[in-house]
Amino acid sequence: MPRKLRSVTAIYPGSFDPITNGHLDLIERGSHLFDRLIVSVLRNDSKEPLFSAEERVEMLREVVQEYANVEVSCFNGLVVEHAAAYSATVLLRGIRAISDYEYELQMALMNRRLRPGMETVFLLANEAYSFISSRLVKQVFGLGGSISGLVPPSVEERLGRRMSEIRKKGA
């Protein structure tokens, strides 16, 4: 008897403040692994993000439009509830170092407890991006360092405009 083919929807959650080329690499690779990949911006104002959730969604939509099976959404609360709203069965997460794994393992086990059947797929960061984090990108850029090649050009432009706004307010 032939097996019924199943469509797999995955959620790639994160703050993406801002999106980096490391995130983009995971999105590209995830788009090949899953039938539908939803990149979901966590709305967590307690973190005091540099960009609003709406701005982060807009940036993501600009840079993922070439992937036909990738969508962008926004959520707050539990990622497993967000995933359930899309009938997603997989959470995609990136691992840069052993320290990431320890945290991600705890999250994966909690998410599975909250929603049995929810699987977490870890992808190892591409070596070229294994040191990049949004926090580090913002810090280096804020201190005048080059982030060329670490973020998409459109994101670098937005960072420049945002830092100029911040400097004008502080002056």
Q: Which listed residue (15, 40, 134, 158) is catalytic?
A: 134
Residue 96 a catalytic site member: yes
Q: Which listed residue (29, 36, 43, 96) is catalytic?
A: 96
Torsion sign across C-alpha atoms 140, 144, 146, 148: positive
Q: Which listed residue (23, 82, 93, 158) is catalytic?
A: 23
Question: Closest Cα partner for 124 from 104, 151, 97?
Answer: 97
Residue 23 a catalytic site member: yes
Q: SS in 3 state form for the chain?
A: CCCCCCCCEEEEEECCCCCCHHHHHHHHHHHHHCCEEEEEEECCHHHCCCCCHHHHHHHHHHHHCCCCCEEEEEECCCHHHHHHHCCCCEEEEEECCHHHHHHHHHHHHHHHHHCCCCEEEEEECCHHHCCCCHHHHHHHHHCCCCCECCECHHHHHHHHHHHHHHHHHHC
Residue 7 a catalytic site member: no
**Tokens standing for 92?**
């995609």
Q: What residues are labeled active site?
A: 23, 47, 96, 134
